[in-house]
Amino acid sequence: MADGKPIVVEMDSFAGGPPVKPKKTAKDYFVGPRDMTHFSKWPFVLRVHGSIVPHILIPMLVVAIWVTSVVCACKFHFTNHKFDPIMLTVLGFIVGLALSFRSTTAYERYMEGRRYWAQLTVTSQNLARVVWVHAREREGEDGKVDLLGKVTALNLIVAFTVALKHRVRFEPYINYDDLRGRVQFLETYAGAASPGFNVHESRVPPLKRFGEFLGVPFAKSNPRAQIKRATQPLGNLPLEILVHLQTYFDALIEAGQLKVPIYQVQTISALSTLNEIATGCDRILNTPLPIAYSIAISQITWIYILLLPFMLYAKLGWTTIPATILAAYIILGMALIGTEIENPFGEDVNDLPLESMCEQIANDVDVIMSRKRPAFPGFVKRDANAVMWPLSGCGFDEWLGRSEEEIREALATKVAVGWRAGHRGGVPDRVPGSGSL
């Protein structure tokens, strides 16, 4: 209790005992992004979660009806038909090139998005560390203002990552459970334009949701629908957060609380890097594969699949039906995978797990500011500091009482011990508990 007001902790995970694992529903197996902490013992060939099976069911049904009709027509009506199989080879080569191009470009975009978010994690950690360790706090009541200011700045770093996640998913407001509390105190265009309810709670008709799940084109929603329906300017929330962070760092520098020039440069450089990351994500999002390529690849693959039974029937007969269905599964599957990962920021199963990445950054920042800046040389002088581990388990005080020659001799001995341990599978000769070397 502080100032007569209790500190309210809204989490019940401190109640003791192992955390309760929520039960999985059918939605968890077919809706993404994939939970990276989940471990499955099923072999990949039997897994459904993450596969393109749900999205390919309707195309496969169309192919099955088509090839069955063609085979029946060739069997009972056009018994003397002959088709040159050379077309199979020519079209197959073209389809292979098209699918290779589609997969390569889609995976490049996926990995580029992953690199941006890895860079975002590193930059957020570095910026939070510099602020927490090197921004000085004044004495007295002003010190509490400085402390809360540092906490606010670190919270805004996390808010930037969450706001970027919503931006690349075309979610322009702040009324989201993971964002509202972090930015509602800022004056932003998104905050002024946000409706008075959580836009994630809007209901989607079950039939439409089922159609989206099966990949029916006419059931898909326009991802930019919220942006198009906006009646006020939406601004650029990640950029506006960076403006507030820049203002905070300027105030630190002017007040002399961030004195060392290299730390000043690091903060400005980190903000520039965050801005570049946001711009890069926008570039990936707004410059997909040219539509002409997408149309041509789709048309080429479908022409090949529709002509395939005519080419196979002369040699395979009724076996043409399963052979064509299998070939269509492979060809359409590769094409659909490229379409799915082309935008790595969505909510498909194979998209980047942005929720997990944002949570990891938030946890890392919380760890950084969970303790006061370590005092040097206080933590070095602790007796538990086994400075020569694994050569010796003796503490700092015991080694402090030895001569410099003995310390340097022990350091040289560590090299030989480490070399022998490497040749024995990482097991050192001995690790003394507390005795002398």
pLDDT of 93: 87
Mean pLDDT in residue range 21-40: 62
Lowest mean pLDDT segment, chosen from 149-153, 226-230, 251-255? 226-230
Tell me: pLDDT of 424 over 90: no
pLDDT of 374: 85
How much is the pTM?
0.83
- Taking only the tens place, the pLDDT of each residue in 308-361 is 888 888 888 889 999 999 999 999 998 888 888 888 998 888 889 999 999 999
Tell me: pLDDT of 156 over 80: yes
Mean pLDDT in residue range 387-411: 89
Per-residue 3-state assignment (H helix, E strand, C coil) for the chain: CECCECCCCCCCCCCCCCCCCCCCCHHHHHCCCCCCCCCCCCCHHHCCCCCCHHHHHHHHHHHHHHHHHHHHHHHHCCCCCCCCCHHHHHHHHHHHHHHHHHHHHHHHHHHHHHHHHHHHHHHHHHHHHHHHHHCCCCCCHHHHHHHHHHHHHHHHHHHHHHHHHHHHCCCCCCCCCCCHHHHCCCCCHHHHHCCCCCHHHCCCCHHHHHHHHCCCHHHCCCCCHHHHCCCCCCCCHHHHHHHHHHHHHHHHHHCCCCCCHHHHHHHHHHHHHHHHHHHHHHHHHHCCCCHHHHHHHHHHHHHHHHHHHHHHHHHHHHHHHHHHHHHHHHHHHHHHHHHHHCCCCCCCCCCCCHHHHHHHHHHHHHHHCCCCCCCCCCCCCCCCCCCCCCCCCCCHHHHHCCCHHHHHHHHHHHHHHHHHHHHCCCCCCCCCCCCCC
Average pLDDT, rounded, for the chain: 83
pLDDT of 432: 44
Domain boundaries, the chain: 49-368, 377-437
- Taking only the tens place, the pLDDT of each residue in 83-123 is 667 777 888 888 888 889 989 999 999 999 999 999 999 99
Tell me: pLDDT of 21 over 60: no
Tell me: pLDDT of 288 over 70: yes
- Taking only the tens place, the pLDDT of each residue in 53-76 is 888 888 899 999 999 999 998 887
More confident residue, 272 or 86: 272
More confident residue, 171 or 28: 171
- Taking only the tens place, the pLDDT of each residue in 178-187 is 999 999 999 9
- Taking only the tens place, the pLDDT of each residue in 214-238 is 666 666 777 777 888 888 889 999 9
Mean pLDDT in residue range 169-173: 90
